[in-house]
Chains A and B, each alone.
Chain A
């Protein structure tokens, strides 16, 4: 049976085409069937009046972790899907450090079968090296041929330059792409926050920005002879931005991302050793934060991610140095990103491009756009409603958000995956 849904009175926002009009969008089963100022819908179409609310492609989050150590794997995946749906995210790119580690084809199949009942689409990002150990490369060729072309060691940096060089060469033969975590181990191993005055004041070991930039510079030097596709997972400082900019000007196939906390917070969020602000890479100085926003505006940074990383309370209720790094973020990806629209840093479509069509292009997905024939993965949000972020109201089982109590404006009202509504805000 064919099912039609007509979304009328919508503010249609499609960053890929620059579309921003009041209009209508019709979905037919799992695809977008028509869109425009006025579209012809069949008589049996379900009609939803959005009353002027925004409708954009469902968000694509390139950095999401599932699996809390010791917790049930399946439930975690399902809960991650629920949290994603509540955040308007229709595709999550799963980092490989789950249990088991996604470093071979059978484990990809295991994860995808586990994620079958999830509310949103799960795309595994397999490991670059076996067991994330940075020693031997995984079956990059076989997995690429099976359609999984984006590889990452997620929170580990591939330290060995010779291995990195071989990985770039090998991967380029399969059009595979490497996503690198930028953190030189010898400079960051004992650190837990940005190096500088505040770290000195708090007596915490610091991680200098050079730990990030050094890896980036090394990788780009190696990339110049291979032209492998490369994505810098999270950029947090001005020095790295300069390096990405130069690499792009050289014509290298490099893209870059940033996580929401690094856009919205600086190192002072740590205050009195708040472990919910411990991240890898760490929150940086205010100058670096502003530089990163500027790089987003200029298109040097392509993607905004949530870095969603559920941590159980016990791993956070410890002294700062011993706490696990990571925060949840799926439900604060859009609303906190919209702050940059509110304060005039970026245009609305520009922000949305970093959350939809840009990650879709990098990941090789046909979603992330409002286009006839594209998947009906949609995010409907109210741009204007103000409220405070309340962890207790979040869908995510773990509550380790760094935005507790933060006032935001903009709320996801409805999320649609493949034409099916997976989330509806209950006011």
Chain B
């Protein structure tokens, strides 16, 4: 069966946890095709013509929201963006009521970001359409992990047996959690590097080796994934100062020297230059895949929108 009409056995995409190797491969294979389409002058397809996609962002976002918007438009869907200011979503009724209201407008796809873990899942129970998690609290950000995987696979030819170091603020990162799950499913080796205060309790049980020292953790790595320091999610001191943090955990050429010569540098963005990553390293086109990640993001999201509407479009069998 070709990936163009294979069914996808999930109604929603709420997280990487719950997907298997075959399904992840199916998404990545399809995304590869969309990369080619996106590089053509005519990028548009009419696959989702007549369908409505609502991007519901309870938390600020520019790149993820735009990426989903482009993905939907390139597949021919009618895309509507709805942003809610962070302050008005504290009351839970708003979330459930918003879900019911939007559901009554009969969308086919809901892309949701929320600052509370589990909120997207809660919302998915109240609507009839497909829900894509665009990031929920500190829980998951599945399309980010998928676009990271696509980037790695295109550069390295595989995911299995690669050593991937995820560095920095793991505690507050949904990107890290989704990546840990995905990389484990695909057979990669995961290391987490950061100060003990930013490595969550029990992280080793998720399938990762823990390092508190960059030079040790980066040794012989194939991939170096940097995380943004999420100071907005921190209550109280997790580290003494940005100066100390950058000195000990910021990625620069010195620390990178112990990784494999062709080690790839990644960052989900937006970057804090001089905090978790040195500007020169970030801009090094031979080492950094940061721009490529953004490109892969659109393709991966197109693949997800395609797969989640297959049953509805009647293309599956």
A307-318 to B contact mask, C-beta < 8 Å, 1/0: 000000011011
Is the pair B201, A321 in contact by a Cβ cutoff of 8 Å?
Answer: no
Decide yes or no whether B306 CB sits under 8 A from chain A: no
Q: Is A195 positioned at the interface, with any CB of B under 8 Å from its CB?
A: yes
Contacting pair A202 B92 (CB below 8 A): no
Residue of A197, A203, A314 near B138 (CB, 8 A) is A203
Verify B177–A201 contact, CB threshold 8 A: yes
Contact with B along A166-199 (1 / 0, CB 8 A): 0000000000000000000000011000011111
Say whether B201 contacts A199, CB under 8 Å. yes
| Number of chain A residues whose Cβ lies closer than 8 Å to a Cβ of chain B | 26
Is B95's CB under 8 angstroms from A200's CB?
no
Segment of B28-36, B116-124, B145-153 engaged in the interface with chain A: B116-124
Does the CB pair A200–B118 fall under 8 Å?
no
Stretch of B183-191, B202-210, B253-261, B271-279 contacting A (4+ beta carbons < 8 Å): B202-210
Q: Which residues of B contact A273 (CB under 8 A)?
A: 117-118, 121-122
Least CB separation from B120: chain A residue = A319
Contact A319 to B117, CB < 8 A, known contacts A190-B235, A203-B138, A314-B92: yes
Q: Is the CB of A196 within 8 A of B118?
A: no
What's the dominant secondary structure at chain B's contact region?
mixed
Q: Tell me which residues across on chain A come within 8 A of B119, comparing CB atoms.
A: 319
Q: Does A305 contact B (CB under 8 A)?
A: no
Q: A200-B202, A200-B203, A203-B140 are in contact. Are A317 and B92 (CB under 8 A)?
A: yes
Q: Beyond A190-B235, A203-B140, A203-B174, is A322–B116 a contact (Cβ under 8 Å)?
A: yes
| B137 within 8 A of partner (CB) | yes
Q: Which of B17, B139, B205 contacts A197 (CB 8 A)?
A: B205
A122 beta carbon closer than 8 Å to chain B: no
Min CB–CB distance A323 → chain B (angstroms): 7
Question: Could you tell me how many residues of chain B have their Cβ less than 8 Å away from some Cβ of chain A?
Answer: 28
Please, how many angstroms separate the alpha-carbon atoms of A162 and B130 in the complex? Answer: 56
Query: Across the interface, which residues of A come within 8 angstroms of B121, CB to CB?
Result: 272-273
A-B contact count (CB 8 A): 82
Q: Which of A196-249 contact B (CB under 8 A)?
A: 196-206, 208
Q: Using Cβ atoms and an 8 Å threshold, which residues of chain A touch B136?
A: 203
Q: From residue B312, how far is it (CB to closest CB) to chain A in Å?
A: 24
Which residues from B are CB-within-8-Å of A203? 117-118, 136-140, 174, 177
User: Bound complex: CA of A274 vs CA of B294, how far in Å?
Assistant: 35
Query: Which residue on A lies nearest to B114, using beta carbons?
Result: A319
B268 to chain A, nearest CB (A): 16
Nearest B-chain residue to A272, judged by Cβ:
B121
Asked if B162 lies at the interface with its beta carbon under 8 angstroms from chain A, I say no
- Tell me whether B138 and A319 are in contact (CB under 8 A): no
CB-CB < 8 A to B235: which residues of A? 189-190
Q: Tell me if A403 is interfacial: C-beta within 8 Å of chain B.
A: no
Chain A residues closer than 8 Å to B138, beta-carbon distance:
203-205
Cβ of B39 < 8 Å from any Cβ of A? Answer: no
Cβ contacts under 8 Å, B139 to chain A: 202-204
**Interface residues in chain B, defined as those with a beta carbon under 8 Å from any beta carbon in chain A:** 17, 90-93, 95-96, 114, 116-119, 121-122, 136-140, 174, 177, 200-203, 205-206, 235
- Given contacts A318-B91, A319-B119, A321-B118, 11 further A-B pairs with CB under 8 A are A190-B235, A196-B201, A200-B203, A201-B202, A203-B137, A203-B139, A204-B117, A204-B118, A273-B117, A273-B118, A318-B93
A-B contact pairs, 30 of them (CB 8 A): A189-B235, A190-B235, A196-B201, A196-B202, A199-B200, A200-B177, A200-B202, A200-B206, A201-B202, A201-B206, A202-B117, A203-B117, A203-B174, A203-B177, A204-B117, A204-B139, A205-B138, A208-B201, A272-B118, A272-B121, A273-B117, A314-B92, A314-B93, A315-B92, A317-B92, A318-B91, A318-B95, A319-B114, A319-B118, A320-B117
Q: Which 5 A-B pairs have the closest CB atoms?
A: A318-B92, A197-B202, A203-B139, A273-B118, A319-B116
